[in-house]
Amino acid sequence: MSSQPAAQPSHPAQPVSTVDLEVFWALHKQKILLGALVLMVAILGGSIYFGLQVVKIRKAEAAYAAADSIEGWRALIHDFPGTIAAGNCYLRIGSKLRDDGKYSESDSAYESFVHGFGKHPLLVAGYMGLASNAERENHPDQAIDEYNLIATQFNTSYLAPMALFEQARLTETKGDIRKAQQLFESIVRRYPESSFSGEAGRRAGRLSDKLSQEAPKPTAAAQNAASPVSP
């Protein structure tokens, strides 16, 4: 009967000795304590910062709800710079000055808004204000450029169909019938559910008929030349 070698006994992992832990702590105690302190300060500082931001936003919202004049809106901009409420105030100032016929000052408010609040949810409204002002100041080419900017760079915004419609309308006023007809058609194609789609379709059809009527008719000589010669 053959004998098999006895299985070698497995050796369990040796636990880290208390002496090793004490040596490690003695060597790295200062680094560990400093790292923990830095982490605690970072967490505490972040919590304080975000807490202050929340308080600032709430105060700005309350101030915006209470403000009802250009002076009040400007005071809010000064007290709570960079907030959504401050951006809203620039829009309110621009609109109020435009209604008062102070287009240059209104432009300044809108420009401050679009340049200083690039991530504001109503950024497109600032550009729309500039376009509207340009039209009221009898600068149709500038207005067309502003409307085109909105229709291209903010093509998914709620103001895109309106901007494209206004661009088409001014283009027709300038006499570029074919371009205007194409712009009206693009509204129907790109924004079929918008409130501007129906009117844009009607205008596109009217301009299409006008272009057909203005198309040069063949002369009698051309018709004779096109007719087959009888044998």
* Closest alpha carbon to 204 in 192, 221, 216: 192
Q: Are 79 and 57 in contact (CB under 8 A)?
A: no
Q: Are 207 and 188 in contact (CB under 8 A)?
A: no
Residue type, 172: E
12 contacts: CB under 8 Å, gap ≥ 6: none
Q: How confident is the model at residue 50 (pLDDT cuts 50, 70, 90)?
A: very low
Query: What phi and psi, each to the nearest 5 degrees, are found at residue 60?
Result: -65, -40
- Give the three-state DSSP class for 170: helix
For residue 214, the model assigns a pLDDT of 80
Residue type, 142: Q
Mean pLDDT confidence for 211-225: 66
The number of C-alpha atoms within 13 Å of 112 and in the hemisphere containing its C-beta is 19
For residue 39, the model assigns a pLDDT of 64
Flag whether pLDDT at 221 surpasses 70: no
Q: Are 129 and 110 in contact (CB under 8 A)?
A: yes
Flag whether pLDDT at 45 surpasses 60: no
pTM, to two decimals = 0.71
pLDDT digits over 178-198, tens only?
999 999 999 999 999 999 999
Of the given ranges (47-51, 59-63, 191-195), which has the lowest mean pLDDT? 47-51
Mean pLDDT of the chain: 83
Flag whether pLDDT at 96 surpasses 70: yes
Mean pLDDT confidence for 85-94: 96
Flag whether pLDDT at 107 surpasses 60: yes
Which sequence spans correspond to the domains of the chain? 147-215
Mean pLDDT confidence for 144-164: 96
- Give the three-state DSSP class for 93: helix
Of the given ranges (2-11, 112-121, 173-182, 209-218), which has the lowest mean pLDDT? 2-11
Mean pLDDT confidence for 35-56: 57
Task: Please tell me the distance from the alpha carbon of residue 56 to that of residue 52, in angstroms, as a whole number.
Answer: 6
